[in-house]
Amino acid sequence: MTALARTETDDRPFKLRAGLGSRSVVLIGMMGAGKSTVGKRLATRLGLPFADADTEIEAAAGMTVAEIFKNHGEPAFRDGEARVIRRLVEGTSQVIATGGGAYMRPETRAIIRERAISVWLKADFDVLMRRVRRRADRPLLKAPDPEGVMRRLIEERYPVYAEADITVLSRDVSQDVIVEEILAALTDHVTSSVSLDSANADPC
């Protein structure tokens, strides 16, 4: 289907915006899962703003994420990250890409669960390592054993990521394919939520 034909025939973005209301779509997952690149395309399809939590943190702090870690430590970064994500999800509906560790914080998971729909971009170890090696600025690559660090993070984080509302497999296909799968999953999720709310409504 061409982009023009898709625009003319696909009314999912309009329906999804209505179904989302004030809720945002929050992408979670490991570094290299494609949250930012997929998130931008998803936001374009939905006609919503896009926000990258790391970029917002850097703007608020006036320094890069690496500089925040170096100068203030990870706890300070995570505190700032939690504040930024809360501000974003409490604002207008948008697509938000979060850092790999953001969803590990219980209060962050709680506010996302309350005010947004979470989408886990799940990627296999080999896919993640292949992608992060392309980026010299990835902190993981500075570790003596990056493969070991990645395996440990996957073991720690994947059980928590699994709490997300939606899971989509991030793999080596076109980003548009991933976006289409997210749109389909969001449509199912929003429709199911509306049906459940209607079933639980008190009779007149």
**Average pLDDT of the chain?**
89
Q: Answer yes or no: pTM beyond 0.75.
A: yes
Q: For 20-171, CATH number?
A: 3.40.50.300
> What pLDDT shows up at residue 107?
95
Q: What is the mean pLDDT of residues 18-37?
A: 96
Closest C-alpha among 86, 21, 30, 11 to residue 48 = 21
Binding residues, by number, are: 32-37, 54, 78, 100, 138, 157
> What pLDDT shows up at residue 103?
97
The dihedral through the CA atoms of 190, 172, 105, 54 has a sign that is negative
Q: What is the mean pLDDT of residues 129-135?
A: 87
Cβ neighbors of 61 (< 8 A, separation 6 or more) are: 68, 80
Is residue 45 scored above 70 in pLDDT?
A: yes
Closest C-alpha among 130, 114, 113, 124 to residue 166 = 113
Which two three-digit tokens encode residue 155? Answer: 């073991």
Q: What is the mean pLDDT of residues 52-75?
A: 90
What is d(CA 193, CA 164) in angstroms, rounded to the nearest whole number?
15
What is d(CA 45, CA 176) in angstroms, rounded to the nearest whole number?
10
- What are the domain boundaries of the chain? 20-171
Binding residues for substrate, by number, are: 54, 78, 100, 157
Binding residues for Mg(2+), by number, are: 36
Cβ neighbors of 139 (< 8 A, separation 6 or more) are: 66, 69
Q: What is the mean pLDDT of residues 133-159?
A: 86
Binding residues for ATP, by number, are: 32-37, 138
158: left (phi over 0), alpha (psi -120 to 50) or beta: alpha
